[in-house]
Amino acid sequence: MAKSPNNHNKPWSAAEDKQLRQLIRENTPTRVISFKLGRTQEAVYSHAQREGLSLKPVNQSPNKRRK
């Protein structure tokens, strides 16, 4: 069985919320966010959804075209 992260089942602190918002603004991948916050990717997704935050990258072309 996989090892649980350090913050498993612990409430999100204000500092973690602030860091999550900062990492989302910087378009950090969800996998990296979860590693930095010591949470699972699922926990990051669900908390972001509850907070009304989008994890979609904002500065990428929708067609991923290269010139």
Per-residue pLDDT of 14-46, as tens digits, reads 999 999 999 999 889 999 999 999 999 999 999
Does 48 fall in a domain?
yes
In this predicted structure, the answer to whether residue 2 has a pLDDT above a threshold of 80 is no
Does 38 fall in a domain?
yes
Range of the domain at 38: 29-55
Does 37 fall in a domain?
yes
Mean pLDDT of the chain: 85
Does 10 fall in a domain?
no
Does 22 fall in a domain?
no
> CA distances (Å), 53 to each of 4, 37, 41, 42, 67, in order?
24, 16, 14, 14, 31
Does 60 fall in a domain?
no
Does 64 fall in a domain?
no
Does 24 fall in a domain?
no
State how many domains the chain has: 1
